[in-house]
Amino acid sequence: MTEREALDLDAADPLPTRRAEFCVPGESAYLAGNSLGLQPKAVRERVGAELDDWARLGVEGHTRACRPWLPYHELLREPAAALVGARPAEVVVMNSLTVNLHLMMVSFYRPTPERHAILIEDSAFPSDSYAVRSQAAFHGYDPDEAVVRLAPADVLGYLRARGDHVALVLLGAVNYLTGELLDMDAITAAGRAAGAIVGWDLAHAAGNVPLGLHETGADWAAWCSYKYLNAGPGSLAGVFVHERHLADRSLPKFAGWWSTDPRTRFEMAPTVTQVDTADSWQVSNPPILAMAPVLVSLEMFGQTGMEALRAKSIRLTGYLESLLDSVCAGRPACVITPRDPARRGAQLSVRVSDRDVGPVSRRLREEFGVCTDTRRPDVIRLAPAPMYNTFHDCWRAATALAAVLDDGGAR
């Protein structure tokens, strides 16, 4: 594994990196895009444009800004739909991820005494676990009984055997800890065949792997946009509701003035006029300053295209995997992410068995300029994001990890 090889791979790759379009802290090898993606340089100017319009126009900006604010979220609809493989009416960008999980469960978790289980993965992200437990409790069920936590490998069998008591399946399409990409088609089909609602948390999947939500037949999905989508810390999230639910007036929803038909919104009627799109799950008027970076992000993904990004991602992650295998050989570390590229996205997780990973990650950053992240006690996550990472970044990360692992315990 030589630096020259990595540089040659970068020079020869059919999809050139867009690294120069991002702010890269300290020119690091930034492999933490699965946690917080880098800032596209275009964001500053785009947010500045909205600030300028606000300064120049005040309230008039709602209709007279360069990109008028009242219908601003419409600009995000088509690119967001393309990103997740949905029809435009099925998606809306709003709120943050866990808030959207709750709004979706208001409509799609309708427990009965016979059918009230919520199936999640045993390594679900804590926010999802807290959210489903609180929903079960809200409906008067004991979360310890209602929430079923399963290893991903056991989900299909469980749905076949015990699916008749499952009200909701809610899984992370790409697991935050292991990087495993689940078989969304098979699980969605099995969940629906069992009579359950199937929702997906796409936090680690959106912008990472190609998605075909509409075709998959999932009932709903939600995702954040601060990871692979690079829209900034705490940036706005997205929601997908399958077309077959869009005109269902029987679904309970929490409403606000952004739930109502925009054509009559300013008639200030006391009741909502429903629309037959995912917009009907909106509650508040959207934060334009937060939407501007999402628009930049979606434009960048539209320009490069998920298929090309995925192809590059498979090349980059495969290369990093081969380097990490050499690093791990003879050292107390191993890659725990599935080996089949079809069963993972960009992230590789390394379990280090002889020490706390916190200091390892800190030394990687401080001594080698390699930015990774950790999940204590023993997992380091490295995600070469195909939009801006290079083969050289992968090489830097692997050689640095070898040096830190050889250099004893915590400092």
Ligand X SMILES: Cc1ncc(COP(=O)(O)O)c(C=O)c1O
Q: Contact residues for ligand X (CB under 6 A)?
A: 96-98, 125, 127-128, 172, 176, 201, 203-204, 224
Query: Does the annotation count 192 as an active-site position?
Result: no
Q: What are phi and psi of 33, to 5 degrees?
A: -70, -10
Query: Does the annotation count 355 as an active-site position?
Result: no
- Measured at CB, which residue is nearest to ligand X? 98
d(CA 236, CA 5): 39
Q: How far is the CB of 249 from ligand X (least distance, A)?
A: 28
d(CA 44, CA 34): 22
d(CA 319, CA 349): 14
- The two structure tokens encoding residue 364: 């990687």
Query: Does the annotation count 266 as an active-site position?
Result: no
How does DSSP assign 33-67, residue by residue?
TTTSPPEETHHHHHHHHHHHHHHHHGGGHHHHSSS
Identify the sign of the CA torsion 134, 140, 144, 149.
negative
Q: Is it true that the peptide bond before 332 is cis, omega within 30 degrees of 0?
A: no
Q: How far is the CB of 102 from ligand X (least distance, A)?
A: 10
Q: Which is nearer to ligand X, 128 or 393 (CB)?
A: 128
Q: Which is nearer to ligand X, 61 or 179 (CB)?
A: 179
Residue in 10, 128, 201, 373 annotated catalytic: 201
Q: How far is the CB of 397 from ligand X (least distance, A)?
A: 21
Query: Does the annotation count 325 as an active-site position?
Result: no
Residue in 108, 125, 158, 388 annotated catalytic: 125
Q: How far is the CB of 204 from ligand X (least distance, A)?
A: 6
Q: Which is nearer to ligand X, 10 or 128 (CB)?
A: 128
Residue in 30, 108, 141, 226 annotated catalytic: 226
Q: Which is nearer to ligand X, 127 or 273 (CB)?
A: 127
How many angstroms from the chain centroid is the CA of residue 327?
29
Q: Which is nearer to ligand X, 90 or 201 (CB)?
A: 201
Q: How far is the CB of 127 from ligand X (least distance, A)?
A: 4
d(CA 220, CA 101): 9
d(CA 338, CA 342): 9
* Exposed/middle/buried for residue 132 (C-beta within 10 Å: 0-12, 13-18, 19+): buried
Query: Does the annotation count 381 as an active-site position?
Result: yes
Residues with catalytic function: 125, 201, 226-227, 381
